[in-house]
A and B are shown apart, each in its own frame.
Chain A
Amino acid sequence: MAKNISPVCRLPRSFHPIQCIIPPYMAESIIKKGDDELKTWAISTLMISEEFRGRRKAIGNLAALAVPAGGKRRTVYDARNSEDLPGVIVRREGDTRTGDDAVNEAYDGAGSTHDLYYEIYNRNSIDNRGMGIDSTVHFGEKYDNAFWNGTQMVYGDGDGRLFNRFTIAVDVIGHELTHGVTQYEANLVYQGEPGALNESFSDVFGILTKQRFLNQHPDESDWIIGEGLFTKNVKGLGIRSMKDPGSAYDDPVLGKDPQPDHYGNLYKGSADSGGVHINSGIPNKAFYLAAMEIGGYAWDKAGRIWYHTLVDHLGSRADFKRAAQATVQAAGELYGEKSNEQKAVKSAWAQVGVM
């Protein structure tokens, strides 16, 4: 088969493989049907060059073909305390652990989150088409944050005085990766109530990643998001409590956890894009209540209802009421109208004042 490839493609380095004379359909065929050596060549010329960062979209589909469905393609980068993304590659899929905790945590946490989505909900990575999962660690200097930038996850080291590194909690990683999933699904606008829902879905699948990792039933979980992020200098259990919003921390420097646990106490100010991390307490509690009432592992039924809501039943501008109705609808479709599961969902939203 190698003989049929134009000699232009065998030129090393100086020539750009993606402009190779092989048209995409042929490369695709090689990756699917070629012998191992050819397959390796085709993949390596398309994939490994960092130059391809800018051309990911063109080769995304081809690369996904090279990995069995549900297989992971994780890459971890080091920004070396700059704000340039993605940074330098420090760990690829299949590479052994490095000496850097942040790198290993980002790698492992992305794996746990991917596995939750694939093994439980049959979702093939962030875009459901096997897209590579990229993380950058050591972003910025003493950066007290982690975020999803539209294509990858990014983690800071924390300042060391109040915050530890942001990869330290697996639910933070699950939270960030889920922003990617939401982007490809309901694409909830990051403002006001839709934004708080966006945040809540991230906390939900973040906590489910942690619970699954620890093999915890709902009554065994602490339902705390970001446990371990605070240093010992801060008075708090973690960043948010899904079980009891508003109780996660109360510290002289950082203040008190501002989350409401009822729609009657909705935050209506302008901070935080209209309180997306504040009002998420309300749908978070609804999920906690539904999971506790339904029973079994939370990712099994409650998580499934929430997943199908996110994927099939929500528009980008959904408010809490619309989301509540959508979860009830999803519960009915999955477990039957008037089922115990559906009743639990309705009751949960009523308890937080949305229905």
Chain B
Amino acid sequence: MKVLFEQSGGFTGISRHVSIDSDSSSRDVNEKLRQLIESSRFFDMPDRIGTSGHPDGFQYDIFIEDEKRAHRVIMNETSIPGELKPLVKYLLEKI
């Protein structure tokens, strides 16, 4: 499984990202990720959630690929659905 996460925009416009590959991650991380992805129903989310949001807000871009499928979701910091918040929070900590 591969997870690519990018935070862009904000006042600074500086992009920060993290990429997590299950092959090179610890069991704890993999376990936690699978759990968060499952409970967030990530693969059922639309490709774009919300528009650009307010000026200088952050944009979040998540790409996840597992054995069966791949999906990408782009949203802004005010349009994160409740179910996705724990996953976004976890990925932000990994940056």
**Is A202 on the interface with B (CB-CB < 8 A)?**
yes
The 8 Å CB contact of B11, one of A147, A149, A189, A270, is A147
The 8 Å CB contact of A179, one of B16, B53, B55, is B55
> Is the Cβ of B56 less than 8 Å from the Cβ of A146?
yes
> Is the Cβ of B54 less than 8 Å from the Cβ of A149?
yes
Other A-B contacts than A144-B12, A147-B56, A272-B15, 19 sampled, CB-CB below 8 A, are: A145-B10, A147-B55, A148-B54, A166-B11, A179-B55, A189-B52, A190-B53, A195-B52, A198-B55, A199-B55, A226-B11, A226-B12, A229-B12, A254-B16, A255-B15, A270-B61, A272-B59, A276-B13, A277-B9
How many pairs of A and B residues are in contact by the CB < 8 Å rule?
Answer: 82
For residues 117 through 149 of chain A, which have their beta carbon under 8 Å from a beta carbon of chain B? 144-149
Question: B-side interface residues toward A, CB under 8 Å?
Answer: 6, 8-16, 51-59, 61, 74
The 8 Å CB contact of B9, one of A146, A166, A176, A273, is A273
For residues 142 through 201 of chain A, which have their beta carbon under 8 Å from a beta carbon of chain B? 144-150, 163, 166, 172, 175-176, 179, 189-191, 195, 198-199
Q: In the complex the two chains form, what is the Cα distance from A191 to B6 in whole Å? A: 18
Interface range on chain A: under 10, 10 to 19, 20 to 34, or 35 or more? 20 to 34
Complex: chain A residue closest to B13, CB-CB: A277
> Is the Cβ of A271 less than 8 Å from the Cβ of B55?
no
**Is A290 on the interface with B (CB-CB < 8 A)?**
no
Cβ contacts under 8 Å, A240 to chain B: 13
Whether A144 contacts B9 in the complex (CB less than 8 A), given A149-B54, A195-B52, A272-B59, comes out as no
Whether A271 contacts B11 in the complex (CB less than 8 A), given A148-B54, A149-B54, A190-B52, comes out as no
For residues 302 through 321 of chain A, which have their beta carbon under 8 Å from a beta carbon of chain B? none
The 8 Å CB contact of B57, one of A144, A147, A199, A255, is A147
Cβ contacts under 8 Å, A146 to chain B: 11, 56
> Is the Cβ of B11 less than 8 Å from the Cβ of A175?
yes
Complex: chain B residue closest to A251, CB-CB: B14
Q: In the complex the two chains form, what is the Cα distance from A202 to B11 in whole Å? A: 10
**Is A278 on the interface with B (CB-CB < 8 A)?**
yes
Question: A-side interface residues toward B, CB under 8 Å?
Answer: 144-150, 163, 166, 172, 175-176, 179, 189-191, 195, 198-199, 202, 226, 229, 239-240, 254-255, 258, 270-273, 276-278
> Is the Cβ of B11 less than 8 Å from the Cβ of A276?
no
> Is the Cβ of B11 less than 8 Å from the Cβ of A272?
no
Cβ contacts under 8 Å, B74 to chain A: 270
Cβ contacts under 8 Å, A277 to chain B: 9-13
In the assembled complex, the CB of B91 is this many whole angstroms from the nearest CB of chain A, namely 16
Cβ contacts under 8 Å, B54 to chain A: 147-150, 190
Cβ contacts under 8 Å, B51 to chain A: 190-191
> Is the Cβ of B8 less than 8 Å from the Cβ of A271?
yes
Cβ contacts under 8 Å, A198 to chain B: 55
| Residue of A149, A226, A273 with most chain B CB atoms under a 10 A cut-off | A273
> Is the Cβ of B55 less than 8 Å from the Cβ of A148?
yes
Q: In the complex the two chains form, what is the Cα distance from A163 to B53 in whole Å? A: 23
> Is the Cβ of B8 less than 8 Å from the Cβ of A272?
yes
Q: In the complex the two chains form, what is the Cα distance from A152 to B12 in whole Å? A: 19
Q: In the complex the two chains form, what is the Cα distance from A255 to B7 in whole Å? A: 14
Cβ contacts under 8 Å, B11 to chain A: 145-147, 166, 172, 175-176, 226, 239, 277
